[in-house]
């Protein structure tokens, strides 16, 4: 394996490890943050449902106040005349105030009128004994001391959860003694749940504790709530929804109902989308960084070798300064050898000066050797040379400087 390949492999491993660590860290942080936001949204949604139920009770109490502060109702609770019933307590009256119960009770505890309206059949029926257990002398619904007093809440009846509101019966000017109590009620049935769900913009339901037909799932939820593990329970409901459970108190501030709200996981969906985008950004960033780093190493650390014929410029002594010394020496030797060959070709009869400067044994073996005298030339005497003869000056035999090819 070459050094270049090892370096590239090391870069890939380092960047891959960096990408994994970066992605895992960001994924953990973002999921934790979005989970916290989802928890907050669930709590706010459940609180919104409870506020809507409470607002519905307030509206019911306001409607009861319109009837309770009325001279005709003040006279009716005293004498119970049928004309008042025939004229005012009609199915249309129940529909208008969205009520299932209208109940007039005298101060003595006597029930003057009790009417139950079925919104499915549009009929009014008699009293329900199950409600009478909440109308005792100590009942919160009947012990109203002031004309402006009001009591609202939810009663756990076998027929289902019943929202009730009670106001004292007084005159229109509220300047006469209280003669009784007017109670109106509204069942939290499927029709009411659908209406409130539209206002809350989410699906919810209310289940009565003690119901023999209570689903096993809710029985388990009740046990977990009783264990006090959390103020509310959040469980997954399918792939895209969360189900949150909590207790709902009754008229007597006791947990008598379980409220269940189903909330879409919009926050987590948005989080998953952002995490997916982050994954792509990390992969793209690491890939680009790897490519740039590999190119930088190839250019500055592992350059490809350039052929000699491309690095040496003919007749240019300024070129080739960056070459290695062995290359320069080899080029110079080649130029010198070429020059010698050309010289021998042009002058085949010229004696070899370099050979005459050899050893004495070489000089004795050849007939064409040049004899060398020991006489020292006189500086003042010029050496005459025959015309046409070549100069024996050694400087004339020196080759010109070799040129780099």
Percent of the chain residues past pLDDT 70, beyond the cut? 76
Predicted local confidence at residue 271, as pLDDT: 85
Calculate the average pLDDT of the chain.
Answer: 80
Is 305 a residue whose pLDDT tops 90? no
CB 209 within 8 A of CB 215: no
- pLDDT tens digit string along 91-119? 999 999 999 999 999 999 999 999 999 98
Selected residue with higher pLDDT from 90 and 318:
90
Q: What is the pLDDT of residue 381?
A: 44
Non-local CB neighbours of 261 within 8 Å, separated by 6+ positions: 45, 46, 49, 202, 203, 204, 243, 244
Per-residue pLDDT of 8-58, as tens digits, reads 888 888 888 988 998 888 888 888 888 888 888 888 889 999 999 999 999
- Averaged pLDDT for residues 202-206: 91
Spatial CA neighbour of 340 closest among 353, 356, 358: 353
* Distance of alpha carbon 73 from alpha carbon 67, whole angstroms: 7
pLDDT at 139 over 50: yes
345: confidence class by pLDDT, cuts 50, 70, 90: confident
| Span 223-279, pLDDT tens digits | 888 776 567 888 888 778 889 999 999 999 999 999 999 988 888 888 888 888 888
pLDDT of residue 303: 64
Three-state SS at 11: helix
pLDDT at 369: 40
> Tokens 């070798």 map to which residue?
305
Q: Does the pLDDT at position 156 exceed 90?
A: yes
pLDDT one-digit tens code per residue, 54-96: 999 999 999 999 999 999 999 999 999 999 999 999 999 999 9
* pTM for this predicted structure: 0.65
Calculate mean pLDDT across residues 364-382: 43
Measured CA angle at 77 (ends 75, 82), to 5 deg: 80
């Amino acid at each position: 394996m070459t050094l270049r390949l090892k370096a590239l492999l090391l870069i890939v491993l380092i960047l891959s490890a960096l990408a994994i660590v970066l992605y895992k860290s960001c994924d953990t942080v973002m999921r934790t943050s979005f989970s916290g936001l989802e928890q907050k949204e669930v709590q706010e949604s459940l609180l919104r449902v409870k506020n809507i139920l409470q607002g519905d009770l307030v509206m019911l109490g306001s409607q009861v106040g319109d009837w309770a502060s009325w001279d005709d109702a003040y006279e009716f609770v005293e004498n119970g005349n049928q004309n008042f019933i025939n004229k005012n307590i009609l199915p249309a009256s129940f529909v208008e105030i969205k009520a299932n119960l209208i109940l007039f009770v005298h101060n003595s505890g006597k029930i003057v009128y009790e009417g139950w309206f079925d919104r499915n059949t549009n009929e009014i029926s008699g009293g329900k004994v199950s409600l009478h257990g909440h109308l005792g002398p100590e009942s919160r619904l009947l012990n109203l001391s002031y004309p402006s007093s009001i009591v609202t809440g939810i009663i756990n009846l076998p027929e289902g959860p019943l929202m009730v509101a009670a106001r004292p019966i007084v005159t229109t000017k509220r300047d006469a003694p209280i003669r009784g109590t007017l109670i109106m009620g509204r069942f939290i049935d499927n029709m009411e749940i659908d209406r409130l769900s539209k206002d809350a913009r989410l699906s919810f339901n209310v289940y009565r504790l003690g119901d023999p037909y209570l689903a096993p799932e809710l029985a388990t939820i009740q046990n977990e709530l009783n264990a006090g593990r959390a103020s509310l329970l959040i469980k997954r409901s399918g792939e895209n929804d969360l189900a949150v459970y909590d207790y709902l108190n009754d008229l007597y501030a006791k947990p008598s109902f379980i409220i269940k709200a189903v909330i879409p996981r919009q926050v987590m969906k948005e989080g998953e989308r952002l995490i997916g985008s982050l994954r792509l950004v990390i992969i793209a960033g690491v890939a680009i960084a790897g490519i740039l780093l590999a190119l930088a190493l190839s250019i500055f650390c592992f350059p490809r070798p350039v052929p000699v014929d491309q690095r040496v410029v003919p007749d240019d002594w300024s070129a080739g300064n960056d070459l290695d010394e062995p290359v320069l020496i080899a080029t110079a030797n080649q130029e010198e050898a070429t020059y010698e060959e050309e010289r021998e070709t042009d002058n085949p009869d010229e004696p070899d000066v370099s050979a005459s400067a050899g050893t004495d044994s070489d000089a004795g073996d050849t007939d064409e050797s040049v004899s060398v005298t020991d006489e020292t030339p006189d500086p003042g005497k010029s050496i005459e040379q025959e015309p046409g003869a070549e100069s024996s000056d050694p400087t004339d035999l020196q080759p010109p400087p070799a040129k780099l090819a």
